Amino acid sequence: YKAKKGKLGYALYDPSMHAEVLERLRLENDMRRALEEEEFEVHYQPKVQLTTGAMTGVEALVRWRHPERGMISPGQFIPLAEDTGLIVPIGMWVLETACRQAKEWEALHPDSPPLMMAVNLSARQFRHPSLMEDILAALQRSGLEPHKLQLEVTESVVMDNSEHAIGVLRELRKLGVKSAMDDFGTGYSSLGYLKTLPLSNLKVDRSFVKGLGDNAEDSAIVRLVVDLAHTLGLKVTAEGVETAEQVAHLKEMGCDLGQGFYFSRPLASEAMTELLEAGVPLSGTV
């Protein structure tokens, strides 16, 4: 094809762009139907207390079982869901499903420490006017106690509109719901600002955990985040833990929790139920 250049110098008609737009439209259409058709699933990944190897929580991670395309990961549809606003009903469904599941699993898990259910919130969900109402509704309908729910938000979500963010985090705290800053270190948090945020957990981004041991800078950053979190009275979770060596470094640094393929991949609810029934620590390094 021959791209036609307009006055502004960009292609007015570009077949490849056309295909992209069509693809987006198709995906958006499919997504609108997917909730009704019950094509979404929530998978759960363990969070492990590094000193004991005990599972103390799980993170809910949404997947889309598309009838023609197979399993679609959130990275491939959350951004579009965010753009179209569909993330709000999808996110509400995830929240309620995760709360009900946590309530079901309580019977399989010793209550001390409680099994925490962590759910991700995107920017649009976080600033949606019905957020608090939706959270309360999910807690009430499931019967889950608020302190067993943790909401994960990224730095950009919190930094975007910090006044509003502080307000939301305060309300969550009043409810007794926990909150975590996700992917910490990848955004633009002001460290001074961090101390004013009513958070309960910092999650060190996996890009830093990756280099633990081999990379002096990454190791220094992880150590810094662990110390910073503890100084601020927060627990710290390392994400993307893949090797025993990383576990050893994290334990030496005093990191509280680990999450990653080393312990377990995200599991469908049936597989997670089996893991909870087995009740064994997830690390052989107790």
Q: Contact positions toward ligand C2E, by CB under 6 A? A: 45, 61-62, 73-75, 78, 87, 91, 94, 120-122, 152, 182-183, 206, 239-242, 260-261, 266
Taking the complex as a whole, how short is the minimal distance between the CB of residue 259 and Mg ion, in angstroms? 8
Q: What's the start-to-end Cα distance of the chain, in Å?
A: 62
Closer to Mg ion at the Cβ: 138 or 181? Answer: 181
Cβ atoms of 147 and 174 closer than 8 Å: no
Distance, in Å, from the CA atom of 53 to the CA atom of 49, rounded to the nearest integer, reads 5
Least distance in angstroms from the C-beta of 239 to Mg ion: 5
Rounded to the nearest 10 degrees, the angle between the axes of helix 131-142 and helix 162-175 is 20
* 109: partner contacted, choices Mg ion, ligand C2E, none (Cβ within 5-8 A by kind): none
196 or 285: CB nearest ligand C2E: 285
Q: Which residues, 6 or more positions from 199, have their beta carbon under 8 angstroms from its beta carbon?
A: 169, 179, 180, 181, 234
Residue nearest to ligand C2E (CB): 260
Which of Mg ion, ligand C2E, none lies near 229, with the C-beta cut-off 5 to 8 A by kind? none
Output 54 or 122, the one with its CB closest to ligand C2E: 122
Quick check: 87 and 125 in contact, CB under 8 A? yes
Question: By C-beta, is 54 or 98 nearer to ligand C2E?
Answer: 98
Compare residues 109 and 240 and give the one whose CB is closer to ligand C2E.
240
Residue 254 CA to residue 245 CA, distance in Å, equals 14
Least Å distance, CB 234 to Mg ion, is 15
148 binds, among Mg ion, ligand C2E, none (CB under 5 to 8 A by kind): none
Nearer CB in complex with ligand C2E: 30/152:
152
Residue whose tokens read 């002096």: 216
- Contacts of residue 129, defined as CB under 8 A and 6 or more positions apart, other chains included, come to none
Residues forming the site for Mg ion (CB under 5 A): 120, 152, 182-183, 239
Nearer to Mg ion, 30 or 148 (CB): 148
Alpha-carbon gap, residue 41 to 70, rounded angstroms: 12
The amino acid at 195: K
Shortest gap between Cβ of 69 and Mg ion (angstroms)? 23
Compute the least distance from the CB of residue 105 to Mg ion, in Å.
19
CB of 157 to Mg ion, least distance (A): 11
Give the C-alpha separation, 130 to 195, whole Å: 27
The DSSP letter of residue 176 is T
Residue 45 binding: pick among ligand C2E, Mg ion, none (C-beta 5-8 Å cut-off by kind): ligand C2E
Among residues 138, 105, 109, 104, the alpha carbon closest in space to that of 121 is found at: 138
> How many other β-carbons are positioned within 10 Å of the β-carbon of residue 217?
9
Tell me how far, at minimum, the Cβ of 4 lies from ligand C2E, in Å: 38
The pair phi, psi for residue 132, each rounded to 5°, is -65, -45
Residue 62 partner contact from Mg ion, ligand C2E, none using kind-dependent CB cut-offs of 5 to 8 Å: ligand C2E
